[in-house]
Each structure stands twice: as C-alpha cells, then as structure tokens.
Structure 1
Amino acid sequence: MLQILPAARQMRLSPCAHAALAPDMAPETAVRELLARGLAQDALPLALRLLPRPYAVAWLCQCMRAQTLSGHDSEGLRLAQAWVQQPGPTQRESARAFAADDDYQSVGAWLAAAAAWSDGSLSEEDGPPVADHLTAAAAVAALLHLAGREPATFEA
C-alpha cells in the first residue's frame, strides 16, 4: 500500500496538509481529514495520487465527460478514454504525442498526458519508467486548467 507521507511529498502538499497527516493513516481517512480542515486544494492531488493510476485516469475522464469541452480538448479526452478502455503502448503513445504536440497547454493535452504517463516511459518505450506521481500531477493540471476557464463550476 502506498504510504501517505511520501505521496504527500510527491504531490507537494502544503505545510498545513503535511501537519494534518499521519504515517499510519488509511488513504480515505487522510483525504477526509484534509477536506475536514478545508484543504480541498491538497485533498484532490493526494486522492488522485493514492488511486491506482488506471482508476485516476478513468475518474478524470468521467469528470471531463460532464463538461463542455472544445474539439481539441475532446480529442484529448477521446485519447485518454481509449487508453482506459484498452490500455497498451499504442494508445499510450497516441496520447503522449497529442500532449507533447500541444506543449501541455490545454485541458485536452493534460487529459492525454494523464493516460500517457500511466505506464511505460516518458518518451521511447525503452526509456526510463514514468515516475509514479505523474499521472496524478497531469490529472490535477487538467482539472486546474478547466477550473481556470470555468471558475464558477468549481467553486463550492
């Protein structure tokens, strides 16, 4: 099982969030504790990091399907969903190329990056493996890009 404190460090949670967490906390307890303390901005990255990477990508796709996306962002969503439905190097490479071609500048690019960074390597298939936290980081970036465009949707 993934340990809470290393995951919190990987996701660069705030000092307040680190102070609220204990090494022996269960994932759900840790996320709920952050939410109870009003630290939603820390709870979301931690929750995404604690999920298995395929689940994080699937959850992100589910969230994005409920939003109005541009054609470009919809293509990033389509590529991420293709990876969720049939994970493999072909789908991952298509998602990686899309995100890189967009220079990681859109919701769609970050959606695709979340899928691309869920397994394998950052570049070539025989390159170094993707760091464990990058799927969650890309998912957070996609959500923040969308929230920046539609703040009223995300204020609660």
Structure 2
Amino acid sequence: MINLKISDITQEDVSAVVNAANSSLLGGGGVDGAIHRAGGSQILEQCKEIRATTYKDGLPTGEAVVTSAGDMKAKYVIHTVGPVYPSCADRCEELLTNCYVNSLKVARKLGCTSVSFPAISTGIYGYPKDKAAKVAYKAVQSFLETDDTMEVNFVFSSQASYEIFKNSIYK
C-alpha cells in the first residue's frame, strides 16, 4: 500500500523513516538535518561508526544503510544518498530508483512493516519534483509487487510538494 501525506517525517510512527542523507552521513540541511536533530546524538554516533568501518569514503549515491532512530517514534532510520541533478547525467533515474529500492531492501531485511520516505533529491540536490515523483512511485510500486507486506508513505512538508507529486504520478 502506498500513501501520500503532508507531515513532519521526524514524527512518523512507522518502522523506519528514510533520510535523504549526504554521503558524509554526518548530518546536513533539510530532511537530513531535521532527522539528526529529532533523533539525537545516537544517530550521529552510529553514522560515525558506519563511516569508520564500512564506508570510509562516504556512502555512495543510491546505496542505503541503517541506524536506530534515536529519540524519534520510528525504530530505524534508513540513510540513502540521492543523485545531484543534473550532474548525474544519464544515470539520474537509475540512481534515484536505487535510493528507493535499496532502502526498501534494507527495510525488508529488518522486518519493517511501514516505511516513510521524503522526496529524495528534490531539495538542494535539485532533482525536478515532477520527474522525481514519477521515478519514486514507479520504484516503490514495482518493489511492492514482489513484497506486499509493507506500507509505504511518501511524506511531504508542504501542500505544494504534495500536489506536485500527486499530479505527477496520476497523469
């Protein structure tokens, strides 16, 4: 099941929220900064451990890793790095698709029943919201065809972003 809603992703009462992270995993602006602030120091410490062991050069675009959600209602935060548009050139769609699919694969391994996504790469990374919506919806819908045990939410911070996404996927 796929839901669209306007909400604060840091307040989602789900198994996992997805963080539109930067490759450093050390926090940033937008959704990334909000999640790090809401979750507290536990998320940052676990991200530092991931950087020190698994991804010493930073998390590659399209990959996904997990930490606890710290002080948030969710149990986990799945961190993924979206592509920077348009410098991703002819790989933009592939890389953005990987963000959603790899995040859902991590969620499945964790036994998650509900996952909330922000609109990955549509902030400072500049991916056009209408194009990103189509890629995101297609990726999630395709994944759920093989795994219908999860409820997936697309969470938007504004009515305008919600409308762009809704209008893009239902054309």
- More strand, by proportion: 2
- More helix, by proportion: 1
Higher Rg? 1
